[in-house]
Amino acid sequence: MIEAHALSKRYGERAAVTDLSFTVRPGVVTGFLGPNGAGKSTTMRMILGLDAPTSGSVTVNGKAYARHRAPLHEVGAMLEARAIHTGRTAYNHLLALAATTGIPQRRVDEVIEIVGLREAARKRVGGFSLGMGQRLGIASALLGDPATLVLDEPVNGLDPEGILWIRNLLKDLAAQGRTVLLSSHLMSEMSLTAEHLIVIGRGRLIADTSVAEFVRGAAGGSVRVRTEEADRLRTLLAGPDVSVASAERSVLEVSGLTSDRIGRIAADAGIALAELTPQLASLEEAFMELTRDAVEFQAPAREPALAKEGQAA
């Protein structure tokens, strides 16, 4: 469990995080979402005791990070800027980390299995692909078998297979009763990975809601369903707040129901679905609408590449 109380951080004149209060609960994946520069990394650093709040406080499993006697057993973290000794093998990197924190060698073997790095464990980290580096980062975070995980943009730059892998791993870890907080600036990714969302903009809380609730509230949020039994499903989905449009014989565009609910209704009726896709563009639009006033740097119309935080400042 992570609990932030009126957390604030200023860098000189600049307020990075302002009066932020939220609770991240165990058992579900919680997405920490906000546009570039919203204050996600700053908040995560404060959770991990790497940055001191200007005011307010944040606890992990009931105590400030620094007050835990064995913090690696309480919270595992992967922040974006990872400093890994590139000449070492992945195995030796994990072994060194384990040795300094009293973690037995067999746990190194375990985490290598969990993240699927067995083949690459004896290779030097310097030659790792981004995806392998992310797996190693997650292995390091899991080393202390922590109850809480904090991951900054873990899917950044991964290929679809890597994204799917992280998504499933995080859901499994949450299902084991752990607290899982991961940041992203992409709503579409979060809607597939997280069950709960904490949205911030310009360092302030904008929304603290379930993904299902967010999807329901998203303007025009619909779900595309493809099935050979479209007519039968259409009848089953009918309800007062549900609308179903159909552009093709086997495709339904459903508004007013979540993909979870549609999948359940179809399964209960024994209807096989060939596709069940929340319309992510509209989710992304809803997120952008929600955070519009909170975007720190608006993209220049002609040079979108310069919109990235820091470069545009």
Ligand X SMILES: Nc1ncnc2c1ncn2[C@@H]1O[C@H](COP(=O)(O)OP(=O)(O)OP(=O)(O)O)[C@@H](O)[C@H]1O
User: Which secondary structure element, helix H or strand E, spans residue 235, and what is its range?
Assistant: helix 230-237
For residues 14 and 69, which CB has a smaller minimum distance to ligand X in the complex? 14
CB atoms near residue 258 (< 10 Å) = 18
Minimum distance from residue 308 beta carbon to ligand X (Å): 8
Beta-sheet strands, E only, within the chain: 2-11, 14-24, 29-33, 55-60, 75-78, 148-152, 179-184, 196-201, 204-210, 222-226, 243-248, 251-255, 275-278
Minimum distance from residue 191 beta carbon to ligand X (Å): 18
For residues 35 and 146, which CB has a smaller minimum distance to ligand X in the complex? 35
Beta-ladder partners of 184: 33
For residues 2 and 244, which CB has a smaller minimum distance to ligand X in the complex? 2
Minimum distance from residue 283 beta carbon to ligand X (Å): 18
Residues between 6 and 45 with contacts to ligand X, criterion CB under 6 A = 11, 14, 16, 34, 36-42
For residues 20 and 98, which CB has a smaller minimum distance to ligand X in the complex? 20
3-state secondary structure of 61: coil
Minimum distance from residue 260 beta carbon to ligand X (Å): 28
185 binds ligand X (CB under 6 A): yes
178 binds ligand X (CB under 6 A): no
Contact 193, 283 (CB under 8 A): no
For residues 100 and 311, which CB has a smaller minimum distance to ligand X in the complex? 311
CA torsion 23→29→34→38, rounded to 10°?
50
d(CA 139, CA 164): 17
Minimum distance from residue 36 beta carbon to ligand X (Å): 4
d(CA 265, CA 280): 21
Minimum distance from residue 141 beta carbon to ligand X (Å): 18
46 binds ligand X (CB under 6 A): no
Binding residues for ligand X, total number by CB under 6 A? 14
For residues 7 and 94, which CB has a smaller minimum distance to ligand X in the complex? 7
For residues 38 and 78, which CB has a smaller minimum distance to ligand X in the complex? 38
Show Cβ contacts of residue 36 under 8 Å, excluding neighbours closer than 6 positions.
185, 295, 296, 297, 307, 308, 309
Minimum distance from residue 40 beta carbon to ligand X (Å): 3
Binding site for ligand X (CB under 6 A): 11, 14, 16, 34, 36-42, 185, 296, 309
